[in-house]
Structure 1
Amino acid sequence: MRYSQDHKAQTYQRILREASARFRRDGIAATGLQPLMKALGLTHGGFYAHFASKQALVETVLREATAEMDTMVAEAAANPTPLEALIDRYLSEGHRDHPERGCPFPTLAAELGQRGEPSEIVDEAIEGRLALIAKLLQGEDAEARATVLWSSLVGALVLARSVKDPALSTRILEDTKRSLKASYTQG
């Protein structure tokens, strides 16, 4: 049975959405292709009609997730206090509690680094994010400050998601927010 191009495009998008949520929530290694496709009511073999490999899916998901996060940074930039908006949104309890809808790097950065297979998409994504944040900063050291800010945001979210104690998790978010705002938003 042949399907229309529209059906194929819709299936492709369904695979991307489900894989994106699972990669962000569970990680790449923990996301098997067979369970992924089964969750969508599709066969494992059908995956290869859309992607050459799991790595191709990972890179596509990273590109899409990065574009989503770039939109978040752009929305923060439109705020009267853009750095505060970015810090508040990134270190929110909602972002902590829903990794499947958030930035991919708190979940995937360590795993991607441990795989020993550097990816140009990761470099592009991080460089792009740093450039967007640097535009929000003042001064000749904006690039270096953007690196520290981005690293602090990602690191704090990793730690907040890692602990069992909800009060400690919230404290990590709130203390980091307070410190970053003091360092980055007051001239």
Structure 2
Amino acid sequence: MARYGKEHKLATRQRIIETAGRRFKRSGIDGSGVATLMADAGLTNGAFYAHFESKEDLIATAVSHQLREQGEQLAAVAPGRDGLEQIVRTYLSREHRDSPEEGCPSAALLDEITRCADPTKQAYTDSVLAFVDDMAARLAPHDPQSARTTILGVYALMVGTLQLSRALTDRQLADDLLEQGIRNALAALDAGQ
């Protein structure tokens, strides 16, 4: 039986993390068993423990990965206030609302993350704060720490708006809510400058 090299193991681990992140956001953490997660990655259930200590380990890793990717997308956005507006408009878009498996883990999983073990919550906290701090640096480049609470509030507003918009059956009302959320987030950013 041939042994796989380190690169193959890392690539396999990455595939599990990425497919698990999408599955968690689509079906929820509790609705995603290890067997389903591994099947999504095209692997057997038995291969799981070669890559992760537990499901909780995978949750923390996948959520952190998703938030890190979200943060990396900031690099492609214009600097300053214009970039923040672009982030708000993209986040509170119909496309983001209608594709939770491709979107923000906070909007898809926040209620479940609060019930996770402390290491998972700490990994989430660290990842969210890295994202928030990147946004704060756009709002207050000379003193990002002064804008951290403002950005946390805007982020919370965006997450809650997206969650509520996803839950509404009235599509026009859901669309109107996204538009109002954009206005509210931009007003909060302007008030925080």
TM-score, normalisation: structure 2: 0.86
Tell me the equivalent position of 1:7: 8
Tell me the equivalent position of 2:55: 54
**Partners of 2:56 and 2:117 within 8 A in 1:** no
Task: Report deviation, 1:58.
Answer: 0.8
Residues 60 and 72 (structure 1 numbering): CA distance in 2 closer, same or farther, change over 3 Å?
same
CA distance in 2, matches of 1:15, 1:67: 16
- Please report the RMSD computed on the Cα atoms of aligned residues, expressed in angstroms: 2.2
Aligned pairs for 1:55-134 within 5 A: 55-78=56-79, 81-115=82-116, 117=118, 119-134=121-136
SS of the aligned residue for 1:29 comes to coil
Task: Report deviation, 1:185.
Answer: 4.1
SS of the aligned residue for 2:166 comes to helix
CA distance in 2, matches of 1:147, 1:13: 29
CA distance in 1, matches of 2:123, 2:163: 21
**Partners of 2:80 and 2:138 within 8 A in 1:** no
Task: Report deviation, 1:116.
Answer: 5.8
**Partners of 1:23 and 1:108 within 8 A in 2:** yes
- Residues 126-172 of structure 1 show CA distances to partners (whole Å, capped at 9, x for unaligned) of 22122122112247841221121111111111111111221121111
Identity, in percent, stands at: 33
Tell me the equivalent position of 1:28: 29
Q: In the alignment, residue 161 of structure 2 is paired with which amino acid? A: A
Tell me the equivalent position of 1:171: 176
CA distance in 2, matches of 1:164, 1:136: 35
Q: In the alignment, residue 159 of structure 2 is paired with which amino acid? A: V
Tell me the equivalent position of 2:139: 137
Task: Report deviation, 1:52.
Answer: 1.2
CA distance in 1, matches of 2:161, 2:115: 20
Task: Report deviation, 1:174.
Answer: 0.8
Q: In the alignment, residue 133 of structure 2 is paired with which amino acid? A: A
Q: Give the one of 153, 161, 166 matched to 2:166.
A: 161
For these two proteins, the number of residue pairs brought into alignment is: 187
Tell me the equivalent position of 1:45: 46
Q: Tell me, which stretches of 5 or more residues in structure 2 are unaligned?
A: none
CA distance in 1, matches of 2:34, 2:43: 11
Task: Report deviation, 1:82.
Answer: 1.4
